[in-house]
Each structure stands twice: as structure tokens, then as C-alpha cells.
Homo-oligomer: A and B are copies of this chain.
């Protein structure tokens, strides 16, 4: 079925940049990981990315294109990075043109959550879905939409920001003048902060650094009531944000990925409970709410696939 050539997929994260040669949804070779924070300067980081690309091409000279997924507002049509979350100095950068100029390869850039959604839809948990909401839970909360069997981008190519959609119009202030945005409740840091407070209220002194999603998962599996209550709360809050998206989009599948989602049923049980409780059966009876299947590779696979498809049309 697939006739695209291999492409390099690059997952540009706030702390590290991962890359791989991808063909038909499989990883043929991994690039050397880059520690983003070691390159505080945009040009030095770009040089390092190009060095890793060159090394991958030396191994796989048949590579036809490059796809980069980035955390922030990305103009995928014109190939411009408007602004990155947690990485400074990347405002209005014509990244696609830079990559093409310096490698001679076709390139695409895309928002990381949209790339992940595309990967999960093409090769992961949402295969065969027609209307899919993907949400990725980490430091930030990102989202991507497949609607009527296509990646949906919106008027300024910025759609899918379910992390900024609000669960409480009088809730916690966010960075955009917004209030009650989901990310302000269930981002990694917010979870840790709130869990530490809940421990304190329960008479325990657990430092914030010991309240990572992983710590809270281990504690909950040991029966720790604070950790169990925290997961129930986080799941309910994510569930409420999804309920809103479900009433609006009536999807057939919701894929949940990112570090926080590794908590598994601790998270998925309250999410499913809230969705069933707060939507009409027509909206939830045939709705699948599933964990992401491609893990950390979803973004690389998604943007490599987008790049290969775009190059194939050229």
C-alpha cells in the first residue's frame, strides 16, 4: 500500500530533541539525542540538528525528506515557527526553508501534538478512526485532531489546543488571559504542586520534587490514599475537558499519550467514568478512549510520514 520513501522524523522537545529514519511507520535508525539545554543559542542548536541529520543520511542515503515536530505555534503551510513553548529565541523562524536550503531535502514542520496525532492515526492507537482527538499530557497539554479522515489544522493552523480550553471559566489564570485551562490543572508541574499540597493537608511532608507523575503512580499502586485521590482528581479534570470536546466533535476515538498517561488505569478509569456520566449515550457508547500506542515515537513517526507524503506529492 505505502509507496513513500524513508524520511527523517525529528521530535523537537523543550529538553531534548529525538530523531530517527522512519519508513512506513517503522524506525530504521535512531539519531543521536540532543540535549536542548546545552545549546542556548538558536544557531548552535540548528547546527547540531543538521549534524545529526547528516549522520542519519550517511547511514540511510535513500532518505527523501525531513519532518520536524515542534512544541508551539507552527505555520505548517509556510514552514514558519511562530513561537515555541519553553524554548526561547525561536520566534518567526522560517525553519522549513532553512532545512531545505542546508540539506537539499524536502522538509515539513508541524506542531508536535499534531504530528503525534497523525502518527497515532496512521500507525498507532487510532488506526481506522475517522474522527479522532489526540491529547498529550506532559509539562504542557497538547492536542491534535483528525476530522473526517484528515489532519485538521484550522484557520491559522493552530487548532487542537485542548490544553488551553477551560474547564472552569472562573478558574486558575493561564498565560493567555484565559482562566481554568486544563494545562493549569494537569500539567506535570501543576500535578506535583497540587499533590505536595494534598500531602501537606494530610499531615505528610512530601517535597514537590517527589511528586512526579511516576512517583504518584508508584505511591497509588502501593495504596497511598493521597496519590489515589490525586489521580482521581486529575482524571476527572481531563475527563471534563474531553467531555466538552466530545459534545462539540462527537469523535469515534480519543487517544491519550505523554508521560502522565503512563499511569494507565489510574488515569483512564476516572476519565472514562466522567465521560460516561456527562455525555449522552449516543456520544459515548461507541467511543474508544485508549492510550497512545507509539509512545515516544509517535511524534517522529507522524512528522516523518507527513514529510514523506508531502515529498511524494511533489
Contact = CB atoms under 8 A, between A and B. Distances in A.
Interface of A: 73, 82, 130-131, 143, 145, 147-148, 150, 152-162, 164-170, 176-179, 237, 240, 243-245, 247-252, 277-280, 282-283, 286-287
A130 B179 CA distance: 28
Contacts of A245: 248
A109 B137 CA distance: 40
B178 A243 contact: yes
A243 to B, nearest CB: 7
A244 B166 contact: yes
Which 5 pairs, one residue from A and one from B, show the smallest C-beta to C-beta distance?
A154-B250, A155-B252, A159-B250, A169-B240, A165-B244
B155 A279 contact: no
A139 B305 CA distance: 47
B167 A154 contact: no
A164 to B, nearest CB: 4
A165 B250 CA distance: 12
Nearest to A178: B278
B167 A166 contact: yes
A298 to B, nearest CB: 20
B160 A279 contact: no
Nearest to A167: B169
Contacts of A154: 131, 249-251
Interface centre among A169, A280, A283 (most CB of B within 10 A): A169
A204 to B, nearest CB: 26
A174 to B, nearest CB: 8
A251 to B, nearest CB: 6
Contacts of A152: 147-148, 249
29 contacts: A73-B280, A73-B282, A131-B154, A145-B248, A153-B250, A154-B250, A155-B287, A156-B286, A157-B250, A158-B280, A158-B282, A160-B250, A161-B247, A162-B248, A164-B247, A165-B244, A166-B167, A166-B240, A166-B243, A166-B278, A169-B240, A176-B279, A176-B280, A177-B277, A177-B279, A178-B278, A179-B278, A245-B248, A248-B249
Contacts of A176: 278-280
A205 to B, nearest CB: 29
Contacts of A249: 152, 154, 159, 248
A30 to B, nearest CB: 33
A3 B248 CA distance: 33
A130 B148 contact: no
Given A131-B154, A169-B240, A279 B159 contact: no
Interface centre among A166, A249, A251 (most CB of B within 10 A): A249
B282 A82 contact: yes
A312 to B, nearest CB: 21
A180 to B, nearest CB: 8
